[in-house]
C-alpha cells in the first residue's frame, strides 16, 4: 500500500493516477468523504485526514510500504510562516508514529536556499523531515509548466503572455507535472533506489518568449510575451487579494536574479514544453 497526500491538486493527483494505472494499491488522503468519491471509483482506498488532525494522518500513513507527503500550498503566508510550520510539525509527528517503509517528500528547486522568500517554507520543511529516522527522498522539481494555466485566457483572447519572469529571453528550468509523477512513482515503488535528494527539470530550459511562441502555434494566432514591471507587482498582488505579497515577490526575484537554482545537476524529464501546453489546453477546454 502506498499513501498519497495532495490528490486534489496537480502533483498528488497525477502521482495517485500513475500508481493506480500501474496496478498498485493506493491510499489517498483527503479532507472530506466528498473529495474521496472520485478516488473510490478509481479503485483507491480513501482515508479522511488532514494536517489539522495528526492522529488521523498517522493512521493514514500506517501499514504502508511508502508515503508521498507534501505541504498544503500556502501562497499568501502570514509573517513567520505559521501555516507551514504547523503543517510540517503535524506531518513529521504522524510519520514518526506510523513509520512507513519509505517517504518521498515534495520540495522545490532552491530547497537548499536559506533566504527569505515564499519557498523558504520548503527549506524549513526539509530541515525538519531530515531529522526523521526513516528512509526519505526529497523531490525538488523546478517551476511547473502547468503554472501557465493562469495565463491561457489572455494569451488566447488578447495574444499576450504576461510574465513575471525577466528578461523574456532568459532560459528558465521548467518541468511538466507528468514528469514529476513518473519520477515520484519510481521512487515510491522502489524501482528507483535513489536516496537523499532528487532534483528535476524538463528536457530543455525555456524562455517566456518560447512559451509565447508555442502558445501561438497551439492557438493559431500571434502571442507575444510581455514583462510585468517589478514596481507594479505589489499593487497587482494586493489587488488580487493577497495580504502579504512580499514572500512571493522575493521568490520571483530569486528566479530572475538566479539565486533560486538547483543545488546539483538535475535529472531531466521527457515531456516537452509543447506537449505539456497542448495537454493543459485540452484539459481547460
* Number of Cβ atoms within 10 Å of the Cβ of 130: 11
Q: CA-CA distance, 3 to 68, in Å (whole number)?
A: 6
Confidence of residue 285 (pLDDT cuts 50, 70, 90): low
**Better-predicted residue by pLDDT, 128 or 283:** 128
Quick: pLDDT tens for 148-194. 999 999 999 999 999 999 999 999 999 999 999 999 999 999 999 99
Quick: pLDDT tens for 57-69. 999 999 999 999 9
Q: CA-CA distance, 117 to 37, in Å (whole number)?
A: 36
Q: What is the pLDDT of residue 59?
A: 98
The upper half-sphere exposure of residue 220, i.e. CA atoms within 13 Å in the direction of its Cβ, equals 0
Q: In order of start, what are the domains of the chain with their CATH numbers?
A: 2-284 (3.40.50.720)
Q: What is the pLDDT of residue 134?
A: 82
**What would the mean pLDDT of 25-45 be, rounded to a whole number?**
96
Q: What is the pLDDT of residue 135?
A: 87
> Per-residue pLDDT for 218 more than 70?
yes
Quick: pLDDT tens for 5-32. 999 999 999 999 999 999 999 999 999 9
List all residues 6 or more positions away from 277 whose beta carbon is below 8 Å from its beta carbon.
Answer: 145, 148, 211, 214, 215, 218
Cα separations (Å) of 71 from 11, 192, 236, 241? 12, 23, 26, 22
Do 143 and 172 meet the contact criterion of CB atoms below 8 Å apart?
yes
Q: What is the pLDDT of residue 82?
A: 98
What mean pLDDT is reported for the chain? Answer: 97
The overall pTM is greater than 0.85: yes
Comparing CA positions, the residue from 88, 94, 89, 171 lying closest to residue 122 is: 88
**What would the mean pLDDT of 28-49 be, rounded to a whole number?**
96
Comparing CA positions, the residue from 227, 226, 233 lying closest to residue 250 is: 233
**What would the mean pLDDT of 195-204 be, rounded to a whole number?**
97
> Per-residue pLDDT for 284 more than 90?
no
In order, the DSSP letters of 113-130 are --SSSTTHHHHHHHHHHT
- For 121, the grid coordinates are 517554507
Question: Dihedral through CA 256, CA 257, CA 260, CA 266, nearest 10?
Answer: 80
- For 14, the grid coordinates are 497525477
- For 264, the grid coordinates are 546539483
Q: CA-CA distance, 130 to 133, in Å (whole number)?
A: 8
Give the chain's radius of gyration (CA, Å). 19
Amino acid at each position: 500500500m502506498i499513501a498519497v497526500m495532495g490528490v486534489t491538486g496537480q502533483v498528488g493527483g497525477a502521482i495517485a493516477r500513475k500508481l493506480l494505472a500501474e496496478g498498485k494499491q493506493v491510499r489517498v488522503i483527503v479532507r472530506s468523504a466528498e473529495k474521496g468519491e472520485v478516488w473510490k471509483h478509481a479503485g483507491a482506498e480513501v482515508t479522511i485526514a488532514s494536517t489539522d488532525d495528526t492522529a488521523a494522518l498517522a493512521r493514514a500513513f500506517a501499514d504502508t510500504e511508502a508515503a508521498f507527503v507534501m505541504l498544503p500550498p500556502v501562497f499568501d503566508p502570514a509573517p513567520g510562516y505559521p501555516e507551514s510550520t504547523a503543517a510540517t510539525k503535524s506531518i513529521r509527528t504522524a510519520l514518526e508514529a506510523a513509520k512507513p517503509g519509505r517517504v518521498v517528500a515534495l520540495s522545490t528547486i532552491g530547497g537548499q536556499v536559506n533566504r527569505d522568500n515564499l519557498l523558504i517554507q520548503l527549506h524549513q520543511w526539509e530541515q525538519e523531515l531530515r531529522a526523521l529516522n526513516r528512509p526519505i527522498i526529497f523531490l525538488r522539481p523546478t517551476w511547473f509548466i502547468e503554472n501557465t494555466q493562469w495565463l491561457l485566457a489572455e494569451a488566447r483572447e488578447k495574444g499576450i503572455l504576461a510574465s513575471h519572469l525577466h528578461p523574456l529571453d532568459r532560459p528558465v528550468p521548467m518541468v511538466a507535472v507528468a514528469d514529476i509523477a513518473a519520477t515520484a512513482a519510481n521512487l515510491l515503488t522502489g524501482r528507483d533506489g535513489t536516496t537523499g535528494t532528487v532534483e528535476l527539470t524538463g528536457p530543455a530550459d525555456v524562455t517566456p518568449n518560447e512559451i509565447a511562441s508555442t502558445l501561438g502555434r497551439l492557438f493559431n494566432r500571434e502571442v507575444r510575451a510581455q514583462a510585468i514591471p517589478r514596481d507594479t507587482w505589489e499593487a497587482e498582488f494586493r489587488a488580487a487579494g493577497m495580504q502579504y505579497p512580499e514572500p512571493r515577490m522575493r521568490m520571483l526575484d530569486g528566479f530572475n536574479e538566479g539565486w533560486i537554482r538547483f543545488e546539483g545537476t538535475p535529472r531531466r524529464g521527457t515531456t516537452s514544453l509543447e506537449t505539456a501546453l497542448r495537454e493543459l489546453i485540452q484539459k481547460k477546454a
